[in-house]
A and B are shown apart, each in its own frame.
Chain A
C-alpha cells in the first residue's frame, strides 16, 4: 500500500507555490502519477505531501506557433501529444518517442513533463527533446527561468529542479527546416517496454552539408546528447566514413551499465547498430 501522505489540489499557481514553499523537500508534484505512485509504493520517493497540479489552468497548454515553436504544459498527457497533428507533422521524432512510452492506457495519465522530471536515464521523450533543443521553463514564486534541456538532468532520477520550483512547460523551438527525425528504441519484447537503448536522431541540410543531431536513452546516468558525434559527422569524407566516425564517437561517449534489461556490452553494441541505422536513414532522406 501507499505510505501515509497528505494531499492538496491547488487551483492556482499562487496556491501551489505556497504549498511548495511550506513543505519544501516534503512536497512532491503529482500530475499523471504513473511514476510517482509507483515510487511512493516502493518507498523510493520519500516526500509525503502530494500536490496535485491538474486543476491549474496555466499548466494545460499545448500550443504551437508558426515560426516560434511548441509549448507543452506540465499537465499535458502523452495521449494529447500523440493526437496532435502539429506534433506528428512538425516534430515527428518527438511524436515517435512519445508513442513508445508505456501503453495506451498509461498515456491517458502520463505527461511529457512528468517523463522528464522523473529523470530516468530511460526517459524516452528526453533524447527527442535533446535533439530538438527544447527549453525547460521553470517557475517558482521567485520567478521564471528557462533552461536548455541539456542542462536539466543532473544524474539518475536527478534534475536541477529545486523543491519549491515546478516545470511549467517545455518549449520546443521550430526544428530545422525540412529535417528528418526518428527515435529508434530497442526493447526486450516487441510490445511495450522500457528501452534497452534508445537513439533519437535528426538530420537536415544547411548549405551543402548534411548536419545531424544525436541523443540517447539508457546509456548513461542521464539522457545524453552527443555533440562530439554530430561534429565528427560534419568533417569531410564519404558518407560511410562520416557515419562510421559518428558511430565510433557515440560509442566512446556512452557509459552504459548492466542491469535487468541488458548488459553494458549489449548496450554498447546497440548504440553502434542503432546509430548506424538511424544515420543511414537520415542521409537517405535528407
Chain B
C-alpha cells in the first residue's frame, strides 16, 4: 500500500505550528457581547430569591438572566439539567445567573452585585452515602425527566441509572471456587483539563434560527438536543466547530451552548460569547465521574476464575446526562479482558452534590480497570500464581463469551499477545531490587479492553468531491480534537483513489449545514466508522469516474483502472484521461458534455448491534473490542512515598496502524495523561463540598519533567476484517490501566495493596506506614 500504513505528517500541522489554526476563542463577531456566570457557593440549597437590580445598573450591562428565564431541560440521555439553576442549586459552582454585557469587565463587575438568598440543604458528598435510604435527594423530580429507553432511573432515589449484567450461575461458581477474594476500590473525580477551556458563542436570529460557534466534539449531538429541548427544527440550527483545543470527552456532550443561545435572544439577538476561565473550567464544566467498586472473585487453586460478583458505583455529581452511559459501559465490560463463566454485575450511576460528570477518554473503563486489574493482582497473589500466568489463563480469547454473552469474533484482536509483549519488554520475572536502603525498583503489569460505548444506531458518513483540477475535498463529521483521525482518513482516500495525500483537503471545520452527519466524536469509534464511510464514499467516487470514463474511452468499466490521478485502460495506459477532465463533466472537442460534478457519499453503522436486555444485560453492544496491556518499572522511595517511572511498556492490538506515528502519538500522550490522573489528580473538597484546588497551581497535571524516563510502544496488528484496512480504535485505550500497573509494582515492591487513587506520594507513604 502506498499511503495506508505510512507515518505521513498531520494535515493540520502547518496551521498549528504557525498559530494560524482557528479555535472558538479566536472568533469575534460583529456586535458580540460577553457573558459571565454567577456560581453557587453552596453544594445544595434552595434559591429563595435573586436580586440583580444593582447589577443591571452597571454601565455596559445589557441583560441578566436567571434560571426561571429559561424553563427548558436538557440532557444527552437523561433530561435532568437546567440551563441555569432553578429552584435549587446542586453543586458548588452551578451557574445561578448570567450577566451579558458589552465587555467582560462590566459583566464581572455586575456579577459581584447580584444578591442571592439561599436556604442551605443537607448535601450528599459521598456516593456511598447517596445510596442510603435516608439520603437527601439531589433530584426529587427524577420520575418526571424524559430519558433514553436504554436507561433506568429509579425515582425516589439518587440512582440515575442501574445497569445489570447476569451470566451463568454465580452461587454455583463460588461453590466451585477454592479461594474467594473480595476488595473495595476508589477513584476521585478528576478534570479533563483541556488546554482550551470551554468556549462558545451563540446567536438567536430574529427569524427564529440559531447559530452556534463552539469548542465541542459533537456538533450534531448539540444540534439534535438543542432542537429537541427548545422545540426548534434542526434545519434552523447551525453549529460551527473549528479546531478544538483538546476535548478528551469533556466537550463530547452539550454544555453551555443552550445558555449562550438563550442569552442572545434575551440580549436582543446579538451574539453572546462565553469563555470559561481556568477556575470555572474546574468548577463549572463537567468532570470525570468518581468511582467506587466492590469485586468478589471466586477462583480455583489452579487459577481459573469461576465466578465474579461486581458492584460499580459512579459519582455522577449533580447531573447525569452523559454519566448514565458511563455506568452502562463499565457494566457491560465489567470483568476486564477475562473470561468469567458466572457473573453478576451491577453498575450504578448515582447523583451527588458534586460537580456533574461526563465522558472522559476511556470512560467507565479507566475507573473499573483500576479495580479489576488490582483485583487480578491480589487474587493471583492469594493463590500463589504469577500474575501474568493468571491473566493468560483467564484471557478472553476469540470464541469465548464476554459478560453480555457476545461470542468474541475470530478476528477480534488478542489480549494474550498484548500481555506477553509487555511482559517480555519490561523483562518480567525478575524480583524487586533494593537500590539503597530506602529505594526499591519493581515491576507491575495490567491489561485492558474497551469497546465504543454508543447506541446501536450511532452513524457516520462522508462526502468526497472531485474538484475541477483533479484535487479532492473530503468532508466528515468527526471533529479534529487533536487525535488526528482526519489525517488517517485522508490517507484512506489517497489509497482508495490512488491520489497523493497533498491533493486531498479535509475540510478543517465542522458546520452542521454543510458537513455530513456523524453521531459524535467519542468512544474511539471514528477511525473505524468514518473510515468505513470514507471507503464507501471513495468507491462511490470511483464508480462515477469510471462511468464517464468508460463512455469516453469506449471500454467497459471493469477494463479501467484509476492510478496517479489518471483513469486508463488496463494494459493500454496510453488510452487514458486525466481525472480533472471529467471532474465537472467531460467536454468533447465540439462542446458536447457528458457526466457532471462528481460527489461521492458513504455511510456506516455498526452491524447487528443490539440494545441490551434490561434484566440480564445480554446482547451485542460492541462494534469492536480493542485490547492492550501496560507494564511499568518503578523506583519507590519507601521513606517519602515518592515514585519514579523508569520504564513504561504499552502494547495495543490496533488491527492496522493506518498512520503509525499518529498511533504512537496517541499512546505516548494517553499514557502520560493516565500517569497524571493516576498519580496526582483529584478534586479536593472542603467539608461543605467546595473544591479547594480549582487552578493549575493546586491541581497538578504532568509537565515535561514528569514523564517516564523510557516508554516502549508495541503495536500489534491482527486485522479486524470489517475495520477500515483492518484498523480498530485506540485513542482512548492508550490511557487505560497505567495506574493499576503502577500500584501492582508497588505491591510487588512492598507487599502493600493500595486500592484508592490517586497514587500520590503522600498516599503511598500513608499506605506503607499503615502496614508497618
Contacts and interface: CB of A to CB of B under 8 A. Distances in A.
A86 interface: no
A270 B761 CA distance: 11
A123 interface: no
Interface string A185-204: 01011111110100000000
Contacts of B639: 273
Contact of A191 (B108, B705, B761, B766): B705
A10 interface: no
Interface string B734-772: 000000000000000000000000001110011000000
B704 A191 contact: yes
Interface in A150-177: none
B108 A188 contact: no
A44 interface: no
B762 A260 contact: no
Interface in B486-527: none
Interface string B690-708: 0011000110101111100
B640 A190 contact: no
A22 interface: no
B644 interface: yes
B307 interface: no
B700 A189 contact: yes
A186 B640 contact: yes
Contact of A188 (B105, B692, B700): B700
Give the residue among A1, A186, A189, A262 with the most B Cβ atoms within 10 A.
A189
B705 A193 contact: no
A122 to B, nearest CB: 11
Interface residues of A, number: 18
B765 A260 contact: no
A194 B700 CA distance: 11
Contacts of A189: 679-680, 700, 702-703, 705-706
Contact of B700 (A186, A193, A262, A263): A193
B693 A260 contact: yes
B692 A260 contact: yes
Given A260-B698, A266-B765, A273-B639, A188 B104 contact: no
A189 B639 CA distance: 16
Contacts of A263: 762
A269 B692 CA distance: 24
Nearest to A194: B697
Nearest to A274: B640
B762 A190 contact: no
A225 B363 CA distance: 49
B639 to A, nearest CB: 5
A263 B639 CA distance: 16
Contacts of B693: 260
B684 interface: yes
Interface of A: 1, 186, 188-194, 196, 260-263, 266, 269-270, 273
11 contacts: A186-B761, A188-B700, A189-B700, A191-B702, A191-B703, A191-B704, A193-B700, A260-B698, A266-B762, A269-B765, A270-B640
Given A189-B700, A190-B705, A191-B706, 8 more contacts: A189-B705, A191-B702, A194-B697, A260-B692, A260-B693, A263-B762, A266-B762, A273-B640
Interface of B: 104-105, 108, 639-640, 642, 644, 679-680, 684, 692-693, 697-698, 700, 702-706, 760-762, 765-766
5 smallest beta-carbon distances between A and B, as pairs: A191-B705, A191-B703, A260-B698, A266-B762, A191-B706
